[in-house]
Every structure is written in structure tokens, then in C-alpha cells.
Amino acid sequence: MDFSIGELSRQTGVKVPTIRYYEKEGLIDAPLRTEGNQRRYQETDRERLRFIRHCRDLGLPMPAVRDLIELSQHPDRPCDEADRIAAEQLRSVRERILHLKKLEAELERIAVSCQGDHTVTECNVLKAFGDHGQCLSNH
């Protein structure tokens, strides 16, 4: 079974320009072409796109996705590199969560700092957004 680029896009949730980009970057193989020069993708392309999409949904950067694809081409190799990539991504996500929690706390503090009937000149929210020195933490 083969797929047009539009059908592949619908089935994988990957936009057509992104499919073309992945092809240009070598993340998926160049597809077969019909006599009318229409791209025709195979099941392996659909599986690869689903893999890439899920990696991206998990926040993996493109170099890590590329490394995982390369690793998948060598089924007899040890998977320690895949383990390392997953652990690195987990570390990165945890760092972002900590950062977001700091942002949340600071924004909560700012949001409640200006309750009442004030003019813009007296607005603590605008003052806080305009002066990082008014923040309580380094976010």
C-alpha cells in the first residue's frame, strides 16, 4: 500500500511542509515518484513519521531524533545510547518544570500585587514587568 503526501499527513498528523522538510533533512527516505512526479510513500515511511512525531511530542530535539533513527537502523547494537538520550530528555524536562514553577510563583505574586482601584501609573503589575529587580527570584 502506498500513500500520497496528503494521505500520509492525515494519517500521521504531520503537516505536508514538515514531511517535505524531514525528507530534505534525510529523516525519511525520498519517496518513490509516479509518472506525474507525485510522491508515493510506503508503510515504512508512515511508521517513521509516527516515530518522529512521537519523539517530537515528547520534546526531543531534532539531533536526538536523528540519533535514535540512526540507532534503529542497527538492531544488534546495545541500546545504551537510546537510554542516554531518554535520560537526558528527562533531565531537560525536569529542569524546565523547575523553571516553570519559579515563573508560576513569580507571576502569581505579581498578579496579586495590584488588586484594588489604581491608576496605570500606580500599577504594580506594569512596574514588575518593567523591572526585573522587583522580582523575588531569578527566574
* The pLDDT of residue 8: 95
Q: Is the pLDDT of residue 82 over 90?
A: yes
Q: Is the pLDDT of residue 134 over 90?
A: no
* The pLDDT of residue 132: 78
pLDDT band at 121 (very low <50, low <70, confident <90, very high): confident
* The pLDDT of residue 127: 79
Instruction: Encode pLDDT of 3-56 as tens digits.
Output: 999 999 999 999 999 999 999 999 998 888 888 888 899 999 999 999 999 999
Instruction: Encode pLDDT of 58-70 as tens digits.
Output: 999 999 999 999 9
* 45 class by beta-carbon count within 10 Å (0-12 exposed, 13-18 middle, 19+ buried): buried
Total residue length of the chain: 139
Q: For a pLDDT cut of 70, what percent of the chain falls above it? A: 99
On the CB side of 19, how many CA atoms lie within 13 Å of its CA?
Answer: 25
Q: What is the pTM of this model?
A: 0.79
* The pLDDT of residue 14: 96
* The pLDDT of residue 20: 94
pLDDT mean over 102-112? 88
Helix-helix angle 5-12:16-24, to 10 degrees: 100
Inter-CA distances, 103 with 59, 106, 108, 111, Å: 20, 5, 8, 12
